[in-house]
Amino acid sequence: MRRVIGMGAGGHAKILVEILRSLGGWELVGFTDQRPELKGSTFMGVPILGDDGLLPALRAEGVDEAFIGVGAIRDVSARKKLFALATGYGFEMITLVHLSAYVAPSARLGQGVAVLPGAVVNTDVRLGDNVTAYSGAIVEHDCVIGDHVHLSPGVHLAGGVHIEPEAFVGIGASIIQGIRVGAGAVIGAGAAVVRDVPAGCTVVGVPARVLATAKAGK
């Protein structure tokens, strides 16, 4: 039985706990969470042990694997920081694929990836570390998705889309074939992206247009 710790007890974590339980083979020993009032309580029947300061001790006790239960709302930085913290202590970040999702045999998934109910990851897709493909997301053939990218529910990516690290794609957005989305960009909910998106930009609408550009140094 593989021992695993969850980092962050919230809505996203609920889905991952159910995936873990459906797949079997893991012992979920507990959660860490930065909210001190949650220490000693339970979450989906699992104890909340304390904050992330417990990670070195858990690693020393033989807990080798971890997953991130924190979701992302436009900003993926919290997930990125937790990923760096856990891997820095030597945890292996587990990849979880819901039984109702489809991942093509030729697709390549990094560490800490989550593919949620009904999502499709098709032929020759590459998903980087700590990518989440939420429920109903479609990632078509030959897409390349960088580290820490968030694909919200119902996102549709046509073939050959390239999304650079730390971008956020909002619920129901669609991106046509061959488009490149720059690092740290935000694609608004329901947007239809028909041209490349520069790094750090926020785009919205149908067709998508630039709403904002990240400040220098961000």
Distance, in Å, from the CA atom of 205 to the CA atom of 189, rounded to the nearest integer, reads: 8
- Rounded to 5 degrees, what angle do the CA atoms 89, 43, 114 make? 55
Active-site pick, 141, 148, 150, 162 = 141
Tokens 């429920």 -> residue: 135
* Nearest C-alpha neighbor of 9 from the set 69, 68, 50: 69
In contact, 121 and 143? CB cutoff 8 Å: no
Q: What angle do CA 89, 93, 98 make, to 5 degrees?
A: 160
Tell me whether residue 135 is exposed, middle or buried, using C-beta atoms within 10 angstroms of its C-beta: 0 to 12, 13 to 18, 19 or more: middle
Contact 78, 70 (CB under 8 A): yes
Q: Which residue in 2, 184, 1 sits closest to 93, CA to CA? A: 2
Helices within the chain (DSSP H only): 11-23, 55-60, 77-88
Whether 148 sits among the annotated catalytic residues: the reply is no
- Known catalytic residues? 141
